[in-house]
Amino acid sequence: MKAGIRDFILAGGVVMAVLAAVCGCSADNAPRLTGAEKDIIDAAGIMRVLTVDDRKDSLVLRSECIDFPMKALRSERFGRLADRMIATVTDSTQDGVGIAGPQVGLKRRVVAVQRFDKAGEPFEVYPNIRVEYLSDEKQTGPEGCLSIPEIYGEVERSQTVVISYVDIRTLDTVRDTVSGFTAVIFQHETDHLDGILFTDRM
């Protein structure tokens, strides 16, 4: 998701609660990484960001993503992917606040999100992420997308979400409750994993 208008939303006040709970559900039947996926992850420099302007890229951006197998999450390669996704979204050519797997050519459930609700506003990476709850209370705000150059629009999103994902350090499935602008970013980025773009919601 593109930066720029974040202050507008942050000014509205961000309340956030974190709830981490061990789930214990780690069905590990996700397909192994392909050679092509490994090549994307292992390449040097920042990652190429796919855009809707390119026909082939569009097909990837419209794909349903799959989980990473636990073995891949334990590997050094996943750490490399996390580092490169953050380097890409924070690069001055992008200046984003979030990025998702298909945007870097991987049809896998992973997002990098800037946590405006945490001290220092760090970028964090969330594999095998899902949205488990969307609040009925909504907020409307402007959005943009690294994959849709020059387009901005108003989107209605839930004020609060509950996400589940695999914690890279413990490999446990954990849940977080997130509110405010950071919750908007999570909704925008997890939409990408289901092939949904913000322009679909305008």
Residue with nearest beta carbon to Zn ion: 145
Q: What is the 3-state secondary structure (H, E, C) of the chain?
A: CECCCHHHHHCCCCCCCCCCCCCCCCCCCCCCCCHHHHHHHHCCCCCCCCCCCCHHHHHHHCCCCECCCHHHHHCHHHHHHHHHHHHHHHCCCCCECEEEHHHHCCCECEEEEECCCCCCCCEEEEECCEEEEECCCEEEEEEEECCEEEEEEEEEEECEEEEEEECCCCCCEEEEEEECHHHHHHHHHHHHHCCCCHHHHC
Q: How is the beta sheet containing 123-127 ordered, strand by strand? A: 98-100, 110-114, 123-127
Catalytic residue among 124, 143, 154, 189: 189
- Interface residue with Zn ion, options 61, 73, 112, 145 (CB under 5 A): 145
By beta-carbon proximity to Zn ion, the closer residue of 82 and 145 is: 145
Q: From the CB of 198, what's the least distance to Zn ion, in Å? A: 6
Q: From the CB of 147, what's the least distance to Zn ion, in Å? A: 5
Q: From the CB of 36, what's the least distance to Zn ion, in Å? A: 22
Of the candidate spans 25-33, 38-46, 50-58, 140-148, the one that interacts with Zn ion by CB under 5 A turns out to be 140-148
163, 111 contact by CB (below 8 A) = no
Of the candidate spans 29-37, 107-115, 144-152, 176-184, the one that interacts with Zn ion by CB under 5 A turns out to be 144-152
Site string for Zn ion, 54-83 (x = CB under 5 A): ------------------------------
Per the annotation, the verdict on 150 as an active-site residue is no
Q: Is 155 in the site for Zn ion (CB under 5 A)?
A: no
Q: From the CB of 192, what's the least distance to Zn ion, in Å? A: 6
Of the candidate spans 60-68, 107-115, 137-145, 156-164, the one that interacts with Zn ion by CB under 5 A turns out to be 137-145
Could you list the residues that contact Zn ion (CB under 5 A)? 145
- Catalytic positions are 189
